[in-house]
């Protein structure tokens, strides 16, 4: 493996870690409604569990209400029950085929709890990025030991990987700051 391939691989993996963090942060509920909130809610559909988005159309009715329009009438009660039983703390109400999911306002205590969850997710992402750096540096040491690269090349590559790590950790911090500001906004 060449140094260029190693750097490209590490950058790609760090990018995936950042994308995973963004997906995890999107699941953390703020006071505002967004359709992605129901992405991980599963509903039973002819014997198998599928995401709500595969049996219904999810839209925003207003900034604090999600609308779920089921495609088959019998599914309305199942979708409503799945949303109610999820860990999101939502209380949907059915109106025929349309299910309205109002977003309850967050209390100050709940906001603080969610901020702790967000910080924990961020720390996990930083650990993942640092582990990738450690693995890359280990690979560089193996290349040096096998005399495939010189000490100077190893040092330069380690510096480049450290710069990549610093950049991605800064991106993680930026994502966390945005999410915390979003959570604490009343």
Domain range list for the chain: 3-27+107-184, 35-102
Q: What is the pLDDT of residue 118?
A: 87
Architecture of domain 35-102: 2-Layer Sandwich (3.30)
CB 44 within 8 A of CB 78: yes
Q: What is the pLDDT of residue 186?
A: 62
Distance of CA 167 to the CA centre of its chain: 19
**Beta carbons within 10 angstroms of residue 103's beta carbon:** 20
The CATH code for residues 3-27+107-184 is 1.10.132.20
Local confidence pLDDT in tens for the 186 residues of the chain: 788 898 999 999 999 999 998 888 877 766 677 777 777 788 888 888 888 888 888 888 887 888 999 888 888 888 888 888 876 778 888 887 788 988 877 778 878 888 888 888 899 999 999 999 999 999 999 988 998 889 899 999 999 999 999 999 999 999 999 988 888 776
Residue 53: DSSP 8-state: G
Token couple for 76: 């309305």
Same fold, 3-27+107-184 and 35-102: no
User: CA 153, 154, 155 angle in degrees (round to 5)?
Assistant: 90
Compute the distance between CA of residue 164 and CA of residue 9 in angstroms, rounded to an integer.
12
């Amino acid at each position: 493996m060449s140094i260029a391939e190693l750097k490209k691989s590490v950058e790609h993996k760090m990018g995936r870690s950042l994308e995973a963090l963004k997906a995890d942060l999107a699941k953390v509920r703020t006071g505002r409604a967004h359709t992605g909130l129901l992405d991980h809610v599963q509903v039973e559909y002819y014997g198998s569990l599928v995401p709500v988005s595969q049996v219904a159309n999810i839209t925003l009715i207003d900034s604090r209400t999600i609308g779920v329009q089921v495609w088959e009438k019998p599914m309305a009660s199942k979708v409503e029950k799945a949303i109610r039983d999820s860990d999101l703390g939502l209380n949907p109400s059915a109106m025929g085929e349309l299910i309205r999911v109002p977003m309850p306002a967050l209390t100050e205590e709940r906001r603080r709890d969610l901020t702790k969850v967000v910080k924990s997710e961020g720390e996990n992402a930083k650990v993942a990025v640092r582990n990738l750096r450690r693995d890359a540096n280990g690979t560089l040491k193996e290349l040096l030991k096998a005399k495939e690269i010189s000490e100077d090349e190893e040092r330069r590559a380690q510096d480049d990987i450290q710069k990549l790590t610093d950049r991605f950790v800064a991106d993680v911090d930026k994502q966390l700051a945005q999410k915390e500001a979003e959570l604490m906004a009343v």
